[in-house]
């Protein structure tokens, strides 16, 4: 099989914002406790942060990390997590049926973020929380001093304000699984008032409004239209979430999941455009895909994502009732999952004109690329390879690409056997082509035709592929699945192994 990929320097999609490689840490399972934070661990620093985790997070070059939830935030009172640790209350976390000790709160997160070199993005509780709590949290974090909440931050050890720029107005508020779930009309009113107070506390902040995340809900997109009509001028981003699941749809359809994400993103962009046009708004709202990943719900047996509706978190996870930091949602990713994640990454790049922030959900232990052992070592999942490669090479300008290739049928219609995303990195003067080869039984000869980039030739070919799609990394065998390098044999052509995710670097 042969495919030809065309790209012209004069046809950009858009600049890839660095925030495309952001991530997410939630008080869920062992993400925070024994993930980020494990006092007494041999690798913990003086604040109890695991330095082995920090090192891997730095290696991923993640610019922004969303915190503290997720579903968790909708039951969370941020006041519980500040001040002397011995006074902090233990609470039932209804979102994940766990005990929250509150040893780790906003101050610990912001200090960890600073040490790690990442920027926090904070979600406020618009479920069970009040709009006043949201405003107070902005004051606590961002006001220099001389007021009750800012002075309390100083008393708690942080003289300098945290200067948090990105704030999420709640999480998945359209879903009945969310504590304090609201109708679109009620969310609109609450978010509008919260936004007002939060911006009074700090006018420089950027706001992310909850959009629809689940396509099967009857409110899908209508929620966004209702809400954006009122909030368009107050917010900077529309949040949406999208998880890809290998749930018996068959290999062909699972590999093609990038197309489902593409439609999901384009649907959100369509509502933004509709509301903008209808109301003659002048400004733009970008998409903040603040949760995306492959999530196979390995804790439970599901036939499809639809089966999730109506499940309690007890049923959704292997959580025993009311444990502290239970080992739940600790997905063990396969080579196939890593290849599929690569396809999703290609979709993000091809939508760089509308998606400004994307957070891989999540970062540590919970549906994550980084895995730790309690009081033990650390290793990376197969998906670490993909995300690391995307974050390393997927910076610059996303370019339009056209492809001539054989097609195949799948649940998303007729698709080309290869799916590319072309990135031009101005600094290195390199063209980097990410390409998914969905051909399951044959390698594909991939010819590259570039125009307007100057003289370029294939310098490197990185690939994720292999015979055993079920291969996983383990603490004992942490390097079972890694990106491999193939020596290019031709200047403008590469052979893409069957069922593979590739990066072709031309300089």
Q: Which is nearer to ligand AHR, 93 or 419 (CB)?
A: 93
| Strands of 125-245, DSSP E | 166-169, 206-210, 237-244
70 near ligand AHR, judged by CB under 6 A: yes
Which residues have C-beta within 8 Å of that of residue 277, sequence separation ≥ 6? none
Cβ proximity to ligand AHR, 328 vs 418, nearer residue: 328
Pick the closer one to ligand AHR by CB: 49 or 295.
295
Question: Judged by CB under 6 A, does residue 98 bind ligand AHR?
Answer: no
* Closest distance to ligand AHR from the beta carbon of 175 (Å): 7
Q: Which of 7, 20, 22, 26 binds ligand AHR (CB under 6 A)?
A: 26
Place of tokens 């609109």: 188
Residue from 69, 81, 127, 488 binding ligand AHR (CB under 6 A): 69
**38, 100, 172, 419: the active-site residue:** 172
Least distance in angstroms from the C-beta of 329 to ligand AHR: 7
In whole angstroms, the minimum distance from the beta carbon of 109 to ligand AHR comes to: 16
| Nearest residue (CB) to ligand AHR, 162 versus 243 | 243
- Specify burial of residue 203 (Cβ count, 10 A radius: 0-12, 13-18, 19+): exposed
- Is 103 assigned a catalytic role? no
- Rule CB under 6 A: say whether 330 interacts with ligand AHR: no
- Considering the complex, what minimum distance in angstroms separates the CB of residue 97 from ligand AHR? 13
Choose the binding region for ligand AHR from 47-55, 67-75, 224-232, 479-487 (rule: CB under 6 A).
67-75
Contact region with ligand AHR (CB under 6 A), list: 45-53, 68-76, 157-165, 269-277: 68-76
In the block, tokens 């093609």 appear at: 256
133 binds ligand AHR (CB under 6 A): no
Residues 6+ apart with CB under 8 A from 368: 31, 331, 362, 381
CB nearer to ligand AHR: give 93 or 236: 93
- Cα-Cα end-to-end distance for the chain: 26
3-class secondary structure, 181: coil
The structure tokens listed for 255 are 């590999």
Rounded Cα distance, 453 and 387, in Å: 26
Largest pairwise CA distance in the chain: 69
CB of 172 or CB of 430, closer to ligand AHR: 172
Q: Is 35 in the site for ligand AHR (CB under 6 A)?
A: no
Tell me the β-bridge partners of 24: 66, 361
Question: For residues 261-320, which are near ligand AHR according to CB under 6 A?
Answer: 291
Task: Give the one residue of 158, 350, 362, 439 binding ligand AHR; rule: CB under 6 A.
Answer: 362
If one counts every other C-beta atom within 10 angstroms of the C-beta of residue 259, the result is 18
Q: Which of 38, 100, 291, 419 is catalytic?
A: 291
Min. distance of Cβ 172 from ligand AHR in angstroms? 5
Minimal CB distance to ligand AHR: which residue?
70
User: How many residues in the shown chain lie near ligand AHR by CB under 6 A?
Assistant: 10
Nearest-angstrom CA–CA distance, 57 and 64: 11
Closer residue to ligand AHR, CB minimum distance, 237 or 446: 237
Site residues for ligand AHR, window 383-402 (CB under 6 A)? none
> Is residue 105 a contact point for ligand AHR (CB under 6 A)?
no
Cβ 113 vs Cβ 120: under 8 Å: yes
Tell me the CA distances in angstroms from 506 to 445, 459, 492, one per residue in order.
16, 5, 8
Q: Which residues, including other chains, have CB under 8 Å from residue 187's CB and lie 6 or more apart?
A: 126, 170, 173, 174, 210, 223, 227
Half-sphere exposure of 374 (CA within 13 A, CB side): 10
Q: Is 361 in the site for ligand AHR (CB under 6 A)?
A: yes
Contact segment (CB under 6 A) with ligand AHR among 65-73, 158-166, 486-494, 498-506 equals 65-73
404 DSSP β-pair partners: 4
Shortest approach of ligand AHR to residue 200 CB, angstroms?
27
Alpha carbons 157 and 105: distance in angstroms, whole number: 13
The verdict on whether 193 is a catalytic residue reads: no
Q: Is 171 in the site for ligand AHR (CB under 6 A)?
A: yes
Instruction: Please answer whether residues 43 and 52 qualify as being in contact, where contact means their C-beta atoms are separated by less than 8 angstroms.
Output: yes
- 177 or 281: CB nearest ligand AHR: 177
Contact stretch for ligand AHR (CB under 6 A) within 64-72, 144-152, 481-489, 495-503: 64-72
52 phi/psi in degrees, rounded to 5:
-70, -35
Angle among Cα 500, 362, 183 to the nearest 5 degrees reads 115
Residue 331 lies near ligand AHR (rule: CB under 6 A): no
172 binds ligand AHR (CB under 6 A): yes
Task: Say how far residue 146 (Cα) sits from the centre of its chain.
Answer: 36
- The minimum distance between CB 94 and ligand AHR, in angstroms, equals 12
CA distance 321 to 315: 11
Q: Can you tell me which of 22, 23, 71, 242 binds ligand AHR, judged by CB under 6 A? A: 71
CA distance 457 to 492: 6
Q: For ligand AHR, which is the closer residue by CB, 331 or 430? A: 331
| Geometric angle at alpha carbon 355, from 350 and 357, rounded to 5° | 125
Q: Name the minimum Å distance from CB 332 to ligand AHR.
A: 16
361 vs 378, beta carbon nearer ligand AHR: 361
Angle between helices 222-231 and 184-201 (to 10 degrees): 30
Interacting residue ranges for ligand AHR, rule: CB under 6 A: 26, 69-71, 171-172, 241, 291, 361-362
- Which residues belong to the active site? 172, 291
């Amino acid at each position: 099989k042969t495919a030809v990929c065309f790209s012209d320097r004069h046809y950009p999609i858009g600049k890839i914002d660095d925030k495309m490689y952001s991530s997410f840490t939630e008080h869920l399972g062992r993400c925070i406790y024994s993930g980020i934070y494990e006092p007494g661990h041999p690798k913990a620093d003086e604040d109890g942060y695991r330095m082995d985790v920090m090192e891997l997070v730095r290696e991923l070059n993640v610019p922004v990390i969303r915190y503290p939830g997720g579903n968790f935030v909708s039951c969370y009172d941020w006041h519980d997590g500040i001040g002397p640790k011995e006074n902090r209350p233990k609470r039932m976390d209804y979102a994940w049926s766990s005990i929250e000790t509150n040893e780790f709160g906003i101050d610990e997160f912001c200090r960890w973020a600073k040490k790690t070199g990442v920027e926090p993005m904070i979600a406020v509780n618009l479920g069970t929380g009040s709009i006043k709590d949201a405003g107070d949290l902005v004051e606590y974090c961002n006001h220099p001093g001389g007021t009750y909440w800012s002075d309390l931050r100083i008393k708690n050890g942080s003289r300098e304000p945290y200067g948090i720029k990105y704030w999420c107005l709640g999480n998945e508020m359209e879903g009945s699984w969310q504590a304090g779930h609201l109708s679109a009309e009620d969310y609109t009113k609450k978010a509008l008032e919260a936004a007002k107070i939060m911006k009074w506390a700090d006018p420089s902040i950027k706001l992310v409004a909850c959009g629809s995340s689940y396509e099967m809900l009857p409110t899908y997109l209508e929620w966004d239209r209702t809400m954006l009509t009122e909030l368009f001028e107050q917010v900077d981003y529309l949040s949406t979430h999208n998880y890809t699941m290998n749930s018996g749809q068959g290999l062909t359809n699972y590999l093609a999941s990038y197309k489902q994400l593409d439609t999901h993103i384009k649907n959100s962009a369509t509502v933004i455009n509709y509301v903008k046009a209808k109301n003659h708004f002048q400004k733009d709202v970008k998409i903040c895909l603040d949760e995306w990943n492959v999530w196979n719900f390995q804790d439970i047996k599901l036939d499809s994502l639809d089966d999730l509706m109506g499940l309690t978190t007890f049923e959704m996870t292997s959580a025993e009732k009311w444990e502290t930091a239970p080992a739940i949602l600790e997905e063990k990713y396969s080579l196939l999952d890593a290849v599929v994640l690569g396809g999703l990454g290609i979709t993000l790049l091809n939508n760089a004109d509308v998606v400004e922030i994307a957070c891989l959900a999540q970062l540590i232990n919970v549906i994550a690329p980084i895995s730790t052992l309690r009081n033990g070592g650390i290793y990376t999942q197969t998906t670490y390879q993909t995300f690391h490669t995307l974050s390393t090479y997927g910076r610059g300008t996303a370019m339009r690409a056209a492809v001539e290739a054989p097609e195949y049928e799948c649940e998303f219609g007729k698709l080309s056997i290869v799916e590319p995303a072309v990135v031009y990195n101005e600094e290195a003067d390199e063209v980097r082509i990410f390409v998914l080869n969905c051909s399951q039984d044959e390698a594909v000869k991939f010819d590259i035709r570039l125009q307007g980039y100057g003289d370029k030739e294939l310098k490197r070919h990185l690939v994720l592929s292999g015979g055993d799609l079920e291969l996983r990394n383990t603490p004992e065998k942490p390097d079972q699945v890694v990106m491999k390098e193939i020596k290019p044999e031709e200047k403008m052509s590469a052979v893409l192994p069957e069922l593979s995710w590739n990066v072709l670097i031309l300089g």
